[in-house]
Structure 1
Amino acid sequence: MSNLESLRIDFAALRTLRMVFDHGSFSAAAEMMNVNQSTVSYTIDRLRKAFNDPLFVRQGRGITPTDRCRHIAASSARMLDEFATLSEPSAFDPQTATATISISSNYYERTIILPKLMAAMRKEAPFLRLKMIQSLSEGDQHLRRGECDILLSPVNYTASEFFKRTLIPDHYVCVMDANNPLADIKLSEQEYVAAKHMTVIYGGNWRSRYMIDLEAKGLSLNTIVSLPTPEDLSSLLRNSDLISTVPNRIAQTLSDGIVTRDCPFPAPLSVDMYWTSRTHHSMMYKWIRQLISRIVGEIIRPTNDIKKPAGNI
């Protein structure tokens, strides 16, 4: 690429490349950027000439990036993140700041963390806005594409591009109607497997750890009803002979008449907070991450006697 051609490449063009790379589609990138597909195509054509590389090639009904494109996309992502950091103000006052913070999360995080986070933000940062995104098992893609600023998730993402802090330790328990005969006994593994289950599968590719532990022993649940979230468990379990397995903190939120019992497979889980270099040095995002960490500390303090190392903020 000549010096003259390189000068014609701006951050907007690199952002377009990154959007096509992340979404794997010109039309999807155009939709996310709220522009015409022809605009995206024109920009990619400019970049093809500048880099003397096709960047994206047809494969079946879709497109796939070239090796050169993968390298350019990774490098441009770092450049865009660093530029975004430079454009951030050096000082941050939560009482006067106006911005929208996007958080990708699921039912657990919205139920356990969001109420206290909202209350704290209304008091300490009254002009900040929250945008909550359903993550399922795609939260890492939300972070990479810049669709969220923070990811709260039980999925263990190990990519080196992510910063991470463990927030909430938890484990699985059984819940059922108080009149269920199984509420009066300590469930053995055999009784647990034979029971009639209302199984929360959550969606996506993520699987609960207790299910993995079951399969490791060659066991499977007698699932009668499958649910995508624990949201309606209270009403569905009431007056039924079904049991369900959920994280302990979710069990504590269920209504009266639903009781909690030990699970023979009390697998641990943790909810972690993830972010990228795009927001790592921002004073505003440092503040919101510290606020989330403080709120979580208040949530888990009554049931945790052991304090764990804090990790990165």
Structure 2
Amino acid sequence: MNISHLSSADLNLLPVFQVLLEERSVTRAAGRLNLTQPAISRNLTRLRELFNDPLFTRTPKGLAPTPRAEALALQLHQSLQDLSQLISPATFNPATATQNFRLATTDYGTQVLLPPVLKRIRAEAPGVNLEIVPWHENLVQQLDHEDIDLSICAVEDAPAAIHGRGVGFDRFICVVREDHPLIKRGLSLESYATYPHALITMGGARKGAIDYLLEERGLSRRIALRVPHFVAALAMISQTDLILTVPYGLAVSFAEQYKLQMLPFPMEQKGFTYSIIWHERHMKDPGHVWLRQLVFEELTKTLEELNVGFRI
């Protein structure tokens, strides 16, 4: 492809050429293009210079294309169609779409928040493929490099190129095995700091948000178990004396299954907001807009249902 030659050519002449091929008349071509006859004649002169060929000869029945014009006609028509599609606004039809989307979240998000999302995607866009990838703490900075379409997380300080939308509120509560001694004694701040804990690390973090809250009060806790998965942590503490501090939505979803007791978190807390986040390069993509809205609607509904009757 000779880009310099292409950039020097006036491509606005090509639609005029196409209409002249179809109408075989300067007068009719001028009418279709809402131009004057002299303007069409000037464009025809420039077309002849561009292709170094007369292109049309006058006959009693109108303009007759030369062999060169006839040879160009089919390729010209296809090229103009391709250009028209290229500059047309992008569209997305879920019913016929075959796109692949990558969504990052935790195992909690995968097991509790995403099933309604997948159900709706399968109903509305059966040809769309969804890949779930693990969330990790550095993913916000790497969202574009890892080619992630959406991430479900609780994030406060996102880079300028990252956009987000809140989908629901949650707060921390504590879970212990069903016959844990703290159930009868009650969970105070002192006993919370004294008992051993399990920590969900999500990417290898040595501390969690709770540890920073404790440090503000001059306290610390012993982390006896570090595990990278939410649901695995629930299963593991069900056989121990460990305390696990988790979002209420997670606890209420699995407490009965793992025979766990929920206890109030013994410190004042502001709670946190779950968000869906994405890189700005996806902002105008119609398929991405559809996915964002679908995930927003389903996650908002699910989180509202999980927090109905919050009782801790």
Fold agreement, TM-score > 0.5: yes
Residue 259 of structure 1 is matched in structure 2 by 261
CA distance in 1, matches of 2:87, 2:287: 12
CA distance in 2, matches of 1:173, 1:164: 26
Structure 2 spans left out of the alignment, 5+ residues: 8-85
Deviations 1:31-72 (A, max 9, x none): xxxxxxxxxxxxxxxxxxxxxxxxxxxxxxxxxxxxxxxxxx
Matched, 1:293 2:306: no
CA distance in 1, matches of 2:279, 2:263: 39
Q: Is the 8 A contact 1:197 1:225 kept in 2?
A: yes
Q: Is the 8 A contact 2:168 2:304 kept in 1?
A: no
Letter in 2 for 1:262: P
Segment of structure 1 superposing worse, 236-245 or 197-206: 197-206
**1:185 and 1:213, CA in 2 relative to 1: closer, same or farther beyond 3 A?**
same
CA distance in 1, matches of 2:209, 2:152: 17
Q: What is the CA distance between 1:146 and its match in structure 2?
A: 5.2
Residue 40 of structure 2 is matched in structure 1 by none
Residue 234 of structure 1 is matched in structure 2 by 234
Letter in 1 for 2:261: V
Matched, 1:120 2:120: yes
Residue 197 of structure 1 is matched in structure 2 by 197
Aligned residue pairs total 223
**1:303 and 1:130, CA in 2 relative to 1: closer, same or farther beyond 3 A?**
closer
State, as a whole percentage, how many aligned pairs show the same letter.
Answer: 23
For normalisation by structure 1, the TM-score amounts to 0.64
Q: Is the 8 A contact 2:169 2:272 kept in 1?
A: yes
Letter in 1 for 2:267: F
What SS does the aligned partner of 2:123 have?
Answer: helix
CA distance in 2, matches of 1:94, 1:206: 42
What SS does the aligned partner of 1:174 have?
Answer: strand
Q: What is the CA distance between 1:133 and its match in structure 2?
A: 1.7
Segment of structure 1 superposing worse, 110-119 or 289-298: 110-119
What SS does the aligned partner of 1:133 have?
Answer: strand
Letter in 2 for 1:242: L
CA distance in 2, matches of 1:207, 1:131: 29
Residue 271 of structure 1 is matched in structure 2 by 274
Q: Is the 8 A contact 1:104 1:142 kept in 2?
A: no
Matched, 1:98 2:98: yes
Q: What is the CA distance between 1:169 and its match in structure 2?
A: 1.3
Q: Is the 8 A contact 1:105 1:153 kept in 2?
A: yes
Matched, 1:145 2:145: yes
Q: Is the 8 A contact 1:183 1:261 kept in 2?
A: yes
Q: What is the CA distance between 1:247 and its match in structure 2?
A: 1.0
Residue 284 of structure 1 is matched in structure 2 by 287
Q: What is the CA distance between 1:130 and its match in structure 2?
A: 0.6
Q: Is the 8 A contact 1:210 1:266 kept in 2?
A: no
CA distance in 1, matches of 2:121, 2:88: 20
Deviations 1:237-292 (A, max 9, x none): 22322221111111122224111111113642222111122211111111110001
Show the 5 A alignment for 1:298-313: 298-302=301-305
CA distance in 1, matches of 2:92, 2:113: 23
Residue 177 of structure 1 is matched in structure 2 by 177
CA distance in 1, matches of 2:176, 2:87: 52
Residue 49 of structure 1 is matched in structure 2 by none
**1:262 and 1:251, CA in 2 relative to 1: closer, same or farther beyond 3 A?**
same
CA distance in 2, matches of 1:195, 1:88: 63
CA RMSD of aligned residues (A): 2.6
Show the 5 A alignment for 1:153-164: 153-164=153-164
For normalisation by structure 2, the TM-score amounts to 0.65
Segment of structure 1 superposing worse, 103-112 or 163-172: 103-112
Deviations 1:184-232 (A, max 9, x none): 2431100111112222222345953222111111211122222222221
Q: Which structure's CA Rg is the greater one? A: 2
Structure 1 spans left out of the alignment, 5+ residues: 8-85, 306-313
Q: What is the CA distance between 1:91 and its match in structure 2?
A: 2.2
CA distance in 1, matches of 2:239, 2:148: 40
CA distance in 2, matches of 1:276, 1:187: 42
Residue 224 of structure 1 is matched in structure 2 by 224
